[in-house]
Amino acid sequence: MPTSLASQPNANEAFWVEARSTYDSLDWQRRFTKQVFNFIRQQAAWLALTSPPTTDVRLLDYACGPGIVSLSMLPYVTSTLGMDVNPHQVSEYNRRASGANLPTTLCHATTGDLITTPVDPALSTAEFTSFDYAVCSAALHHMDDPAAAVARLADRVKVGGKVVIIEFLAKDEDVPAGEEERRRMNEEYRLRSHDNTHLVAGPMPPSQHGLKHGHGHGHEHSHEHSHEHSHEQGHGHEHGEGEGRHRHGPHGFKLEEMRGFFAAAGLVDVKSVIAPEKIVIEGFGEWDSFMMQGTKA
C-alpha cells in the first residue's frame, strides 16, 4: 500500500498547520487559508482522492505560497512538489515541510515559473512532469494570461491526471483591467507576494458590485464545452491608490470563462463547485470562490 505523506514516519502536520509567516499572519489571512484547506478536504471524494492513496499520487502545488494546498492534500498523495515564482514563498514552504518532518525527497518546493515563454529547460525533467494533480489556488488571477496558464498546467499532468483551479468568482460589474495595467500589477505582486504590503492601503471605495452570478452555493456544474473567449472578459479587479501605495486585490473569473480555458487546454470532464462560505479579503470585501477540475484526455 502506498504511504501518504501524512502517514510518513514522524510526520507532524500540526507544525505546518500552526506555522505563521508574513503571508498568513493576519487573522483574515488565516481564515482564508483555513477555508482553502477545508474546501479541498470537503471536496476530496469529488476530486477522486482517497486516503490512504491506493497508488502513487504525485501532486504539483503550483504557485504554492507557504503550501496550504499541499498541507490539505497530505493524506491523499504520496509526494508533492510546490512551485512558486517568489523565493520567499518557497523557503517558507520548505521550512514548514521540514518542520512537519516530511522527507524532502517527497515534499519540497522550488522556485520556478511554468507560465513564462520560453519555460526554463531545467523544468522539463521527469521531476516536473506527469503529475496526477496540478492544483493552483488563488493565483491564476495574478497571471498575465490565465488561459495559457491552464494549458501549461495541463502539459504537466499525465493522461488521466487532473488540473484543479481554485479561484474567486467574478462579480458581475467588475471592470476589466487593461492589459498593461494588469501586467504591471502582476509583476509587482510576484515580487511582493510574500508580505502584506500589496494589501496595505487606504479604505476601499464603497463597492457597487453585487454578487449576481447565477449559481447557488454548493451546486455542482458538470459540462464540457469549448467556445471563443477573451482573456479580458469578466476579469475584473479592484485597486486604487491609498497613502501613495498601490492596492492589489483579487480579480475574479466567471465559470464560463474558466470552462473555456479548460476546454481550450484539452481538458475533459470539466466540473466546478462553489465554496460553501464566502471569503473575506480585508479591504476588498467578500468573495465567492470556486474549484474547477478537468481531466487530461
Ligand X SMILES: C[S@@+](CC[C@H](N)C(=O)[O-])C[C@H]1O[C@@H](n2cnc3c(N)ncnc32)[C@H](O)[C@@H]1O
Q: At what angle do helices 146-156 and 255-264 cross, to 10 degrees?
A: 50
**Cβ–Cβ under 8 Å, residues 59 and 97:** no
Interaction between residue 74 and ligand X (CB under 6 A): no
Task: Select from 6-14, 63-71, 227-235, 282-290 the region that touches ligand X (CB under 6 A).
Answer: 63-71
Q: What is the dihedral of CA 8, 9, 13, 15, to 10 degrees?
A: -140
Question: Looking at 47, 63, 81, 150, which residue binds ligand X (CB under 6 A)?
Answer: 63
71 binds ligand X (CB under 6 A): no
Shortest distance, position 225 Cβ to ligand X, whole Å: 27
Closest CA to 155 of 108, 119, 198: 119
Assess 293 for contact with ligand X (CB under 6 A): no
CA-to-CA dists, residue 176 to 37, 144, 214, angstroms: 29, 13, 20
How would DSSP label each residue in 151-187? HHHHHHEEEEEEEEEEEEBPPTTPPBPPHHHHHHHHH
Per-residue CA distances from 140 to 115, 145, 151, 182, 203 (Å): 10, 9, 12, 12, 25
Residue nearest to ligand X (CB): 65
Residue 92 lies near ligand X (rule: CB under 6 A): no
86 binds ligand X (CB under 6 A): yes
- Residue 85 binds ligand X, judged by CB under 6 A: yes
Question: CB 24 → ligand X: shortest distance, Å?
Answer: 7
Considering only residues 96 to 155 of the shown chain, the ones binding ligand X according to CB under 6 A are 113, 115, 137-139, 142-143
Q: Which of 34, 41, 95, 190 touches ligand X (CB under 6 A)? A: 190
| Residue keyed to cell 505582486 | 189
SS3 195: coil
Residue nearer to ligand X on the CB measure, 87 or 160? 87
Stretch that binds ligand X, among 50-58, 81-89, 97-105, 126-134 (CB under 6 A): 81-89
Least CB distance to ligand X at residue 214 (A): 26
CB of 69 or CB of 97, closer to ligand X: 69
Q: Counting beta carbons within 10 angstroms of the beta carbon of residue 294, is it exposed (0 to 12), middle (13 to 18) or buried (19 or more)?
A: buried
Binding site for ligand X (CB under 6 A): 33, 36, 63-65, 68-69, 84-86, 89, 113, 115, 137-139, 142-143, 190, 193
